[in-house]
Chains A and B, each alone.
Chain A
Amino acid sequence: MRLLLTFFSTLLCFSTVLLFAAAQPALAANVCFSCHDKALFTDKIIHKPVAESQCSVCHNPHVAKYKGLLRNREGDLCYSCHKKSKNEFAQGVVHAPVAAGNCSACHSPHASSEKGLINKDLAKNCLACHTDLPKEYKQTHKPFADGNCTVCHKSHQADNLQLLSDKPDALCLSCHSADTLQASHKDYPLALKDCLSCHNPHGSERKGLIRNFLHQPYVEGCASCHQGTAKVSMATCLKCHEKTGQELQANHSHITLQNGNSCLNCHSPHAGDDKALLKHRERQICNSCHAETLALYRQTKFPHPPVKKCSVCHESHGSKNLAMLRGGGNAICVQCHETQGKFTHPVGPEVLESHTGQMVTCVSCHNPMGTDHKAHLVQEGKRALCVLCHRTY
Chain B
Amino acid sequence: MSNKPACWILKTVLMFTLVLGYYNERAEAASPWLWDRVLKQDLVQDAMRMPTSLYIDADKELYYIVDSGRNRLLSFNRKGELLNIFNAGKALSIPFDMVKINEKGLWIVEKGRNSLSYIALKEKKVTPNTLMYKGELVYPDRIEADSGLLYVLNKATGNIISYSNKLEAVNRFSCSDCPWGFVDFKIHEQKLWALDQANKTIRCFNLDGKLIKTFELGSSVNFPVSLAIEPTGFIYVLDRQKRNIAVYDRNGTFKYRFLEKGIARGQLYFPSEIRFDPWGGLCMVDEGNARVEIFKR
Interface residues of chain A, those whose CB is within 8 Å of chain B, are 2, 5-6, 9-10, 12-13, 233-235, 248-251, 253, 255-260, 262, 292-293, 296, 320, 322-323, 352, 354-358, 388
Contact = CB atoms under 8 A, between A and B. Distances in A.
Contacts of A257: 158, 180, 197-198
A259 B180 contact: yes
A4 to B, nearest CB: 10
B41 interface: yes
A385 to B, nearest CB: 11
Contacts of A354: 44
A357 B46 contact: yes
A296 B241 CA distance: 9
Interface stretch (B77-85, B244-252, B286-294): B286-294
Given A9-B8, A355-B289, A358-B290, 4 more contacts: A10-B12, A10-B13, A13-B9, A293-B241
B64 interface: no
Contacts of B49: 357-358
Query: For B50, B94, B197, B291, which residue has the most chain A Cβ atoms within 10 angstroms?
Result: B50
B179 A259 contact: yes
A5 B3 CA distance: 13
Interface string B152-184: 000111100000000000000000000111010
B96 interface: yes
Interface in B30-68: 41, 43-50, 52, 68
B41 A357 contact: yes
A250 B109 CA distance: 12
B137 A352 contact: no
Query: For B113, B157, B223, B264, which residue has the most chain A Cβ atoms within 10 angstroms?
Result: B157
Contacts of B291: 356
A251 B44 contact: no
B85 to A, nearest CB: 14
A262 B158 CA distance: 10
Contact of A249 (B16, B113, B290): B113
Given A355-B289, A357-B290, A255 B155 contact: yes
B9 A292 contact: no
B114 interface: yes
Contact of A357 (B44, B68, B198): B44
A235 B111 contact: no
B89 interface: no
Contacts of B113: 249
Contacts of B241: 292-293, 296
B179 A322 contact: no
B115 to A, nearest CB: 9
A209 B96 CA distance: 45
B5 interface: yes
A258 B139 CA distance: 13
Contact of A235 (B48, B137, B179): B137
A320 B94 contact: yes
8 contacts: A5-B5, A249-B112, A251-B52, A256-B155, A257-B180, A296-B241, A322-B287, A352-B47
A352 B270 contact: no
B290 A262 contact: no
B266 to A, nearest CB: 13
Contacts of B206: none
A104 to B, nearest CB: 31
B105 interface: no
A356 B47 contact: yes
B8 A234 contact: no
